[in-house]
Structure 1
C-alpha cells in the first residue's frame, strides 16, 4: 500500500485484528534513564513508515532531519511501524516500549487505567495550539479526573462512500447523495436495477468488521453499543435502534435484492467491487478513496463521500501518540515537542501539502495530507490551503465535510474488538438467512457483549 491513505486503512485493519490485545498487558517499565547535564535528549519514537512506502518514508526521514536541525538538543531515534498487536504486549511487559508511541483511539482508556502512559497535563501547557484541537479528541486521552495522557494526531469519521458514475447511470443526482437510510435504500434499488452484476449497497460481516459497521449503523440512528450504568458498562443495542438497523439490512438484502447474493464480505471485497464499477454505496471513511484508486484501478472523479445517513451521529476513530510512563521529564518535554512539530503544526501545513503536490499525492480529500483534528481559525486555515492546492475533486466530498462538522462523533466502545467479534454473527445471520430472528440475534449478542464489558475496569 503506497499512499498515506492506504497506510491509514492498514493500521485500522491491524486494529481490527488486535482483538483486545492490550487487555492482558502488564504495566510498562521504561528505562527511565536521565539526561546527562548539558547533553542531548535522545528519544525513541514509533511511526516511521516501512521502506515499502517510499514516499511516506522519505517525508518522515526528512522531517526527522529538519526537526533535529531546529532542535539541536534533541536526537530522534525512529522505529519503524505503528502498533503491531503481535509485539505490543511483550514490549509493554518487557520494558522495550518506545518513549513516544502510537495508539489507536480504542487504546488510551485501557493504557491509562494500567498506568502505561505518562501524565502530560502540566507539560502540555507549553505546547502550542493544543487549545485549537477538537475537545472531543483530547477527551479520548483523559482519565476520569481530566488528566491528559496523550495527543490526537489523526481523526476520521464514517460516512457514505458512493459511485458518482453509477448514480448518473441510475438517474440519481451525484451532487445530492442520500441523507437518510430510507434514501440510501431507494438509491440502492435504482442502482441494482442497472443489472450486469451491479450491487446497490454492500456491507461488511466478518473479521470483526461486521460488528464495527453495525456500530456505525447504531451511532447514525442516535443509538449506542454500550452505555455506563453506574460504575459498569452494559450492552445498549438490544432495543429499537438495533432492530431498526438490522431491519434495514434485512430488507435491502432480501426484499429489495439490492445487496447482492454474495455475502460474508470484508473491506477488500467491497473495495474491489467499488473499484470495478460494480457497487453503488458502502459505509466508509474518506481514506478508502485513494485505496480504490491506487489498488483497485478507480478514478478520483468517480467517487463521492456523503455524511453518515440519518445525521444523528457517526463513528469516530483515529490515532495519536502517548509517552512512556518511565520517561524522564526531559524526555517527556522532548517527546511533546516532536509530536507537536511533526503532527500538530499549523506553521507547516503549506509545506507539507506542497510535498504531496510535488509527488502527485492526493490533496483535497477530507483528512489528508493535514489531519482533521482542528477547530476554529486553524481549521479554516487548513481548509483554505487544501482548497488552494487541491488536485482531486474536493467538491465531491462537500456533503461529508458539511455533515461531519455538525453531527456528533462517538468513539468505539470499550473492549471494542471483542464486542465486534460478537456482533459479526448478528450481521452474518441477517445477511445470509432470510428468516433470521432479529430479536433472538440481538438478545444473544447482548449477553455475549455484557460478558465482554464485565471485564472493563
Structure 2
C-alpha cells in the first residue's frame, strides 16, 4: 500500500529508520556555482508538519556544511506513480526520488532508475541492511536503490476499552476468533463504541485484505513459471471475507458507518470509541498528535494467527539520467541522512527534547538493520523512550514472518477493495462469488507485470 504517504506524519525515524524523508527539484541541473554538485531530492515534509520540517531542514544544512561540494535542493512531495513517467521524460524528475516497496520492480524493468551497483559501496553500512529488503531494490545481481524504512502490520487496540469490556489488556487476541469475541464485547459497551474497524476504499481495503490473508498463511499472488497469477480464491480467502461479514452483520461489532479509510479509523481510535484495527506502530503518534489520543491508552500486538505479516516500506532510487557525480553525491546523502548509525542518538535526543514519540517497537521483520546496529538502535530507543514501551511488547514478541506486498500492488488492491466493500455494506454479499470475480480481474493486472 502507499502506506508511507498515509503515515508520513508519524515519523518513520521511530519505526525503524534514521530519518524522516528526503527532498527535491529537477534532475536536469548538471552542477551549481563554484563547482558544486546540485542534487535535487524529494520528500521534504510540508510546513504543516512543523517539527518534521525543522528537523529535515536542519539536516540539509548540517550535511551541506560537512559536504561543501554538494548543494542539496529540497522540494516537498513524494513519487507519484501517475505522473512519474511524464516527469522523467520531461526532465522534471528529481535526481534522488522516493519509492514505495511496491514500485522498484516495475521501475527497474522499464529502465527508469539508475544502476548504482558500483556506488553502494560508498554507503558504509549498506551490507548490514537486511538482505530481503536490499533485494526489493535489486534485479539480476544489480542494485538500483536503497531501503531506508520498513513497517510490519500488527493489531492496535484500546487498553481502556479492553478493561471496561472485561478483557485483559496484557493478553491481546492471538487469533481471529479471539478478535471477533473481543470486538463483540467491546461493541456491547454501547454509546457508539465500535469493536473492530476496517478499511474498504482508496486501495486500502485491498491492502488490508492482503494482510488478513497473509496472517492465515495465504497469498495474493504466486509465481507460475515466468509469470504471476492470483492465488486467493480458496478456503482461506473465503474465510477472511466470511469472518468480516459475520462481524459486521451477525455481531454488529463493526458499526454502521463503512467505506472507511485510514484517517477515519485513526480518528475513531483517538475518540476513545474504537476497540481494535490493523495497523503499524507509527499509527500511534498520529492518533496522539492529530486526534488527541494518549499513549498509555494504546497497546499493540502481532497480527492474529501468525501465518505471516504484511511488510512494506520505502527507499530511494536515482534518476537514470543522473551524471556519475550526482550518483556519488546521492550515495553520500543517503548514507548520511538515512543509514548512519552515528546519528542514532542525536536524532533520538532531538525527539525526546521536543516531546516527540520515542520508543515505538520494531520487531526484527520490521527493522532494516541486522546484528550490532539493530541492537545499538534498540538500546538507544529504550534509553530515550517517551512512551510506555511495555504496552507494545506483545507486538515485538509475536510478530510473524514478514511478507512483501504483491506485484502491481496498487492495481491489485483497487480490485480487492470491491470485495471488502461488498461484505461490509451488503448483508447478502456472497464471498465465494466475490472471490471468483476478484481473482479473474487480479489475473488481468498480474499479466501486465514484466
Which residue does 2:93 correspond to in 1? 97
Q: Pick from 130, 136, 140: which aligns with 1:140? A: 136
Shift of 1:167: 0.6
Contact 1:151–1:322 (Cα < 8 Å) also in 2: yes
Q: Pick from 414, 424, 427: which aligns with 1:421? A: 414
Contact 2:154–2:280 (Cα < 8 Å) also in 1: yes
Q: Pick from 149, 159, 179: which aligns with 2:154? A: 159
User: 1:44-443 maps to which residues of 2 (within 5 A)?
Assistant: 44-85=40-81, 87-143=83-139, 145-366=140-361, 372-404=367-399, 407-443=400-436
Q: Pick from 440, 446, 449: which aligns with 1:447? A: 440
Whole-angstrom distance in 2 between the partners of 1:435 and 1:413: 29
Deviations for 1:196-229, whole angstroms, at most 9, x for unmatched residues? 2211111111121111110110111111111111
Shift of 1:39: 3.0
> Residue 62 of structure 1: SS of its match in structure 2?
helix
Shift of 1:46: 1.4
> Residue 131 of structure 1: SS of its match in structure 2?
helix
Whole-angstrom distance in 2 between the partners of 1:189 and 1:52: 38
Whole-angstrom distance in 1 between the partners of 2:281 and 2:415: 26
Which residue does 2:16 correspond to in 1? none
Contact 1:133–1:374 (Cα < 8 Å) also in 2: yes
Matched positions, count: 432
Contact 1:167–1:280 (Cα < 8 Å) also in 2: yes
Which residue does 2:18 correspond to in 1? none
Counterparts in 2 of 1:93 and 1:360: CA distance versus 1, 3 Å: same
Whole-angstrom distance in 2 between the partners of 1:5 and 1:440: 33
Contact 2:44–2:77 (Cα < 8 Å) also in 1: yes
Which residue does 1:16 correspond to in 2? none
Contact 2:362–2:396 (Cα < 8 Å) also in 1: no
Gaps of 5+ in 2: 13-25
> Residue 311 of structure 1: SS of its match in structure 2?
coil
Which residue does 2:22 correspond to in 1? none
Contact 1:155–1:367 (Cα < 8 Å) also in 2: no
Whole-angstrom distance in 2 between the partners of 1:203 and 1:430: 11
Deviates more, 1:64-73 or 1:294-303: 64-73
Gaps of 5+ in 1: 13-28
Deviates more, 1:267-276 or 1:281-290: 267-276
Deviates more, 1:99-108 or 1:259-268: 259-268
Contact 2:309–2:402 (Cα < 8 Å) also in 1: yes
Contact 1:235–1:446 (Cα < 8 Å) also in 2: yes
Deviates more, 1:308-317 or 1:324-333: 324-333
Shift of 1:312: 1.1
Deviations for 1:306-339, whole angstroms, at most 9, x for unmatched residues? 1111111111111110011121222111101100
Whole-angstrom distance in 2 between the partners of 1:96 and 1:190: 54
Deviations for 1:371-398, whole angstroms, at most 9, x for unmatched residues? 9311111111111111101111111111
Counterparts in 2 of 1:96 and 1:61: CA distance versus 1, 3 Å: same
Whole-angstrom distance in 2 between the partners of 1:391 and 1:199: 29
TM-score, L = length of structure 2: 0.91
